[in-house]
Each structure stands twice: as C-alpha cells, then as structure tokens.
Homo-oligomer: A and B are copies of this chain.
Amino acid sequence: MLLADEVLKGSRRALARLLTVIENGSQGADEAVAALFSHTGQAWMIGITGAPGTGKSSLVNTLAKAYREQAKTVAIIAVDPTSPFSGGAILGDRIRMRDLSGDKGVFIRSMATRGSLGGLARATRDAMRVLDAAGFNVILVETVGAGQSEVDIVRAAQTTIVVEAPGMGDDVQAIKAGILEIADILVVNKADRPGADNTVRGLRAMLELGHPAAKSHMISHHGQLIRLEKTTNPHENTFWIPPVIRTVATSEDTTVSGVQALIEAIADHRRYIAENGLNTELERQRIEIELYERLQSALMMRLQAEVTTSVLTDMIERIQARQIDPQHAVHLILETQKV
C-alpha cells in the first residue's frame, strides 16, 4: 500500500520496485494494483509487435523521442516472451539506455517470462496500469513475434502497430494474415531496403482482401466470456482502415524517416476512436478478455488446492495404461472436486 502511495507521489524508485513485485508475482502485487486502479485510464497505450529482424526496438526508441519532443512523458515496456536464459530483454535495455538515458520524462522497463506465459501477459497488463497511474502520457509496449501470447499482450493496448520489413521470406504471408486482424496501423520499417514496395503492396492487397469491417467483429481467440448475439456497434457504417506507413528507423541508421507520419497515424486512430464513441466499447472488450484470463488462472489454482496430488497422479497412470482417455479423466477429476 505504501509502495502504491509512493508511486502516486512520483517516486521512480518505488515504481521500479513495484514493477519487480508484479513481474515476480510476489506478495503485495494485487493489493498495490488494486490501490492504484482508480487512478488509471489517462494514458494512451500503444502496442508494437512484429517478427524478429524488423527493427521494432529502434522504432520504439524513435517514437519515444518524438513524443518527448511533444513534451509528453513516455514509458516503454519491452516484453521478452523468450526464456530468461536468453537475456534478450536486458541486452535490449542497454542499447536503449544509451539513447534515452538522463531524460526524466522517459521510463524504460523490460519484462521477461517468470514461469508461465499467461503470467507474463497478466504482469504486463498490471505494469501498464501502474505506469498509467504513475502519470505517463504515452505507454509503449513492445513484444517480439506473432504468437498468441504476444497478440494477447499487444491487445491490451489502445492502438496496435504491426511492424514488417522487406524480404522476410515467402511464407510470411500466412503470419501476416493472422496479425492483420489485430493491427490498427501497419509499418514497413527498413523501407529504404530493396523489396519495400513489394511489402507495402502485399500488405495493402491483404487489407483489401479482408473486408475492413471485419475488425469490428474481432473477438478474443480465447473465446468469449459473455455470449453476445452480435457486436452492438452503434456506428456500424464507420470502420478504421489500417494505414500502411513506411519508416526507416534501425539501430544502424542515422537517418530516420517516416516517424512523423506514424505519430500522425496514431493520433488519427485515437481521434477515430473518440469521435465514434468507441472508447467505452473497446475498453469493455479488453476488460472482458482480461477477466476471462484471470478467471481461468484462479479456477486452476482453486482446483490444485482442492484436488489431491494422489488423485492426479493416479489419473495420469490410468491414462498412461490406456485404461481411460484424457477427456474421461477430466470428468472424473471434476466430479471429485464437486463432492
């Protein structure tokens, strides 16, 4: 509770400490987030994802600098869904520090997997809230890759940017189609390289292929918590067509271009959401997804507390002996729990 108060008063040390508590899932994390919750809802959260090698981190750095020039405070969360063993997140931080260190209006934090990936999505969401309550104007959440866990993470943001780069192989197409559904803005980074025109054209073609209105019917891949008849969108005729922006922002390049266009696209998207009164509905959807995930993990914890290890071990042995099939075992375990 004390930590939460210190965060509200602007202590950077308390902020860093609280984020560590959240990352590790240590005691006090839930209480602190609960205490800060009423102070959230002010920041604009931007999720940035894309395949390795697209130069996402450099783009995020450049974005942060551009927001600083607008006198906005910026927090960056770099999510590393790979093993702690890689040290990837730490390395990324060091490179960043060189560029943005010394600026009090920037806060940089990496989050790595501690245990489950579901736990990472949850910790990231809590970290975003804490940074929101701490008063940062813009929160940039960056994650590598296009897997479900990364999608879950960036989906907690208000504007989602998917970064591509020219010449990333032929069957990238398949990945793109999946990721297109979550993108509010598409960026072709390293746009000075050969093949950039092709990449832009390819993305535009895919956008045309998928009817843009499809985006408003987006539901969680995890299934819906509440079965709605139909998305009740009062502005069914308006839809957002994701723009494709070319940027050059890589660690090797000293010349940077396209970032102002990207900043404007983000502002456009924010304006689109506000003007169409979609903020409330989109937030509701995000909360629904979060509630689903939290319920899922709470139910598993309750099950593990109620069903004895010997029951589970016994079931696994019976499955292994081909006496019962796994789904039947599930029924038996849940019946045990009910009694």
Contact = CB atoms under 8 A, between A and B. Distances in A.
A258 interface: no
B168 A53 contact: yes
A334 interface: yes
A333 B296 CA distance: 12
A291 interface: yes
A194 to B, nearest CB: 14
A178 B291 CA distance: 28
A290 B181 CA distance: 29
A70 interface: no
A23 interface: no
Contacts of A144: 171, 174-175
A82 interface: yes
Given A34-B327, A37-B325, A116-B222, 13 more contacts: A34-B328, A40-B322, A54-B169, A85-B177, A85-B214, A116-B221, A144-B171, A145-B146, A226-B316, A288-B316, A291-B330, A299-B300, A299-B303
26 contacts: A37-B324, A51-B51, A53-B170, A53-B172, A82-B178, A85-B214, A86-B174, A86-B178, A88-B171, A88-B177, A116-B221, A144-B174, A144-B175, A148-B148, A168-B169, A223-B300, A226-B309, A226-B313, A226-B316, A284-B316, A288-B316, A291-B316, A294-B326, A295-B333, A296-B296, A296-B299
